[in-house]
């Protein structure tokens, strides 16, 4: 879908125009530039001051995180002070992956990490676990800075530091010594006890890339986590940076069913009605659908 004509009630796709009576738009996180453009076209007021950032993806051996992943496939999130939380845990046949984004201010590319897991399989299980640890940043003093632009700038900074190989990765052992990780920290030998799953990252010093306040909050949360799950701060544990969750600028909804215009509703991660999880995205879709049903 390329755009919407709300007055004449049709959408434009790359192939044709399609009429509608009620329209639900849920393009996910990757569609947030699209949604932002749409809000301008539809004249939907929005705020753009919140972003989930920080964030590092932590990868470690399952033995360092056992009580958490033994009983739950996707364990509950841990919430820490200063709006820091764990998020999206993967284990067993788990991998860290790289996602590419482009800014809508010139199209410069930056990268975020993410994580996923394949179904357990004794041949391919790597015995690793990964999860994100993110901080929510909200700009509150007028004039409000754009959370999206701030996050993108941090992504660009990390891409710059990674040379041709962003994102960045650093072992906890190196981080604690205040030293950057080098190739030797990742290329076998007996210094560390597992290899990274996202080998294409640039070994580096994440503390050079993360704003101090965000880094302090995240490191404090990780130390707290290590008191709950001793071992997670093993020197071999890897921190990948950045993990950034972008949401569309938050629309001013007309009601609690996420209606934005007479016949148009939004839902899902892209619209900020959920915050990066299948369950929340699903629930927000149901809520919008109920709003649509109410009008039929």
Please report, as ranges, the residues that interact with ligand FAD according to CB under 6 A.
1, 26-28, 31, 34, 74, 88, 97, 114, 116, 268-270, 276-279, 281
Residue 264: strand pairing partners: 23, 261
Q: CA 232, CA 91: separation in Å to the nearest integer?
A: 14
Nearer to ligand FAD, 88 or 168 (CB): 88
Kindly state the smallest distance separating residue 223's Cβ from ligand FAD, in Å.
Answer: 25
Q: Report DSSP state, residue 215.
A: H
Kindly state the smallest distance separating residue 193's Cβ from ligand FAD, in Å.
Answer: 25
Which one, of 2, 19, 1, lies nearest residue 10 by Cα?
A: 19
Residue 25: strand pairing partners: 266
3-state secondary structure of 175: helix
Nearer to ligand FAD, 19 or 178 (CB): 19
Nearer to ligand FAD, 25 or 239 (CB): 25
Q: Report DSSP state, residue 75.
A: P
Kindly state the smallest distance separating residue 276's Cβ from ligand FAD, in Å.
Answer: 5
Nearer to ligand FAD, 72 or 177 (CB): 72
Sign of the alpha-carbon dihedral angle for 200, 115, 131, 208 = positive
In a 13 Å sphere around the CA of 156, the CA atoms on its Cβ side amount to 14
Kindly state the smallest distance separating residue 114's Cβ from ligand FAD, in Å.
Answer: 4
Nearer to ligand FAD, 122 or 279 (CB): 279
Instruction: Give whole-number Cα distances, 142 to 48, 84, 145, 248, in Å.
Output: 12, 24, 8, 20
Kindly state the smallest distance separating residue 256's Cβ from ligand FAD, in Å.
Answer: 18
């Amino acid at each position: 879908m390329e755009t919407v004509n709300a007055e004449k009630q049709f959408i434009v796709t790359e192939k044709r125009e399609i009429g509608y009576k009620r329209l639900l738009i849920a393009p996910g996180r990757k569609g947030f530039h699209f949604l932002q453009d749409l809000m301008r076209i539809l004249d939907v007021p929005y705020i753009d001051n919140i972003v989930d950032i920080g964030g590092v993806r932590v990868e470690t051996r399952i033995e360092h995180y056992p009580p958490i992943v033994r009983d739950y496939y996707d364990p509950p999130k841990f919430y820490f002070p200063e709006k820091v939380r764990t998020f999206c845990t993967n284990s067993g046949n788990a991998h860290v992956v790289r996602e590419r984004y482009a800014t809508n201010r010139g199209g410069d590319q930056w990268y975020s990490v993410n994580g996923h897991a394949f179904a357990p399989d004794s041949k391919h299980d790597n015995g690793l676990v990964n999860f994100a640890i993110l901080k929510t940043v909200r700009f509150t003093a007028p004039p409000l800075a754009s959370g999206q632009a701030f996050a993108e700038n941090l992504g660009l900074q990390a891409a710059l530091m990674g040379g041709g190989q962003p994102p960045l990765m650093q072992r906890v052992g190196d981080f604690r010594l205040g030293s950057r990780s080098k190739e030797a920290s990742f290329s076998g030998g007996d210094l560390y006890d597992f290899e990274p799953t996202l080998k294409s990252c640039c070994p580096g010093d994440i503390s050079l890339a993360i704003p101090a306040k965000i880094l302090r909050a995240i490191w404090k949360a990780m130390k707290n986590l290590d008191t709950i799950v001793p071992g997670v701060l093993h020197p071999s544990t890897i921190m990948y940076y950045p993990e950034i969750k972008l949401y569309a600028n938050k629309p001013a909804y007309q009601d609690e069913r996420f209606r934005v215009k007479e016949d148009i509703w939004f839902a899902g991660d892209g619209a900020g009605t959920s915050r990066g999880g299948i369950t929340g995205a699903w629930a927000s879709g149901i809520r919008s659908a109920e709003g649509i049903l109410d009008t039929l």
